[in-house]
Amino acid sequence: MRILVFLIVVMVVFPAMGQVPGRPSLNKTKVRPTMTEGLRVEGSVVFTYVDEKKRRRLSADIYSPAEGNGPFPAIVMYFGGGWQNGRPALFAPLAQRLAQLGYVTVVPEYRLSGEAPFPAAVHDAKAAVRFTRKSARRFKVDPDRIACMGGSAGGHLAGFVGASNGVERFEGAGEHREVSSEVQAAIVMCGPMDLFDPVILARVEKAVGNPNGDAILDFMGGEPPSKNKAIYREASPIFYVSAATPPMLFIDGENDRPEIRYVDFRKKLDSFGKAHDFVLMPQGPHPFWVYEEWFEPTVQAVDAFLKKNM
């Protein structure tokens, strides 16, 4: 499939200077969530409950075009943080900017590993898609054009939601089970697609007993591979790719193991004839999307992909 690259730069790094002669310095100013012009913003909208007594609720921030009757395509967006921390506000700038381009963007909470390990976050991620589809009239969403998107740990969730279209056992016990959680496209930014990879398994096993711990180990409920290797396979999106998986876009920063995460995953997509693209952000760190330098290129890549595939 095509590989999209915004810019290819051959760098010669001079130890004394630490930069490429004649090249402007990178703008690593963080993008602020101030792009609210032309938008309707609804914060902390409850989208599901995760306990039988309905005392633990999850909410989402929703951004939509203030003008127009729609229906608009929607993007459900999952923040990162190693499944351990984070909050919807981390994705507010991306959500605002994409909403300005004509999308309804939904940024939900999900249960972090300290509260509930895998598969709770996946259950919550799918519940957010169901809520978006169920609330199509309220938010002027086209229920047949819903994508998911995420970065880092959120990229894993976006990849999981997309890959597991139609896999009933990951729906969880959240609200709106009468509607589908299937997405029509998925965007993964720096998200691990195979937690069963031998390199990851070895890293996690080595972390057992280390005071610093490991994000994946915590996500697996503290179960090391030596005691429960099966759960690492269960938590890997690559094992759910099927004919129901939608078109997928992968975006990586050049300085963050570019594309390595997706080689086998993309081969799996090819085996089912599924469309996919890869975009490289030159000199991009982890997470590139929060910085001015790579923010607008990320927005444009997502918009172009969705206009083509959804």
Q: 49-53, 70-74, 93-97, 288-292: which range is least confident on average?
A: 49-53
What pLDDT does 96 receive? 98
φ, ψ (nearest 5 deg) of residue 275: -70, 140
Domain covering 29-192+237-309, topology: Rossmann fold (3.40.50)
CATH 3.40.50.1820-classified regions of the chain: 29-192+237-309
Its pTM stands at 0.92
Residue 305, SS3 per DSSP: helix
Per-residue pLDDT, averaged over 23-40, amounts to 92
Per-residue b or e along 221-242, where b marks 16 or more CB atoms closer than 10 Å to that residue's CB: eebbbeeeeebbebbbbbbbbe
> Which pLDDT does position 13 carry in this prediction?
33
Average pLDDT of the chain, as a whole number: 92
For the chain, what percent of residues have pLDDT higher than 90? 88
In which band, very low, low, confident or very high, does the pLDDT at 24 lie, cut at 50, 70 and 90? low
Region 236-247: mean pLDDT is 98
pLDDT digits (tens, 9 = 90+) for 259-310: 888 999 999 999 999 999 999 999 999 999 999 999 999 999 999 999 999 9
Q: Beta strand 248-253 with 3-5: parallel, antiparallel or unpaired?
A: unpaired
Query: How high is the pLDDT of residue 23?
Result: 58
First to last CA, the chain: 17
Alpha carbon of residue 253 to chain centroid: 15
Q: Which of 291, 247, 240, 304 is nearest to 93 (CA)?
A: 291
Give the dihedral of Cα atoms 221, 223, 225, 226; nearest 10 deg.
180
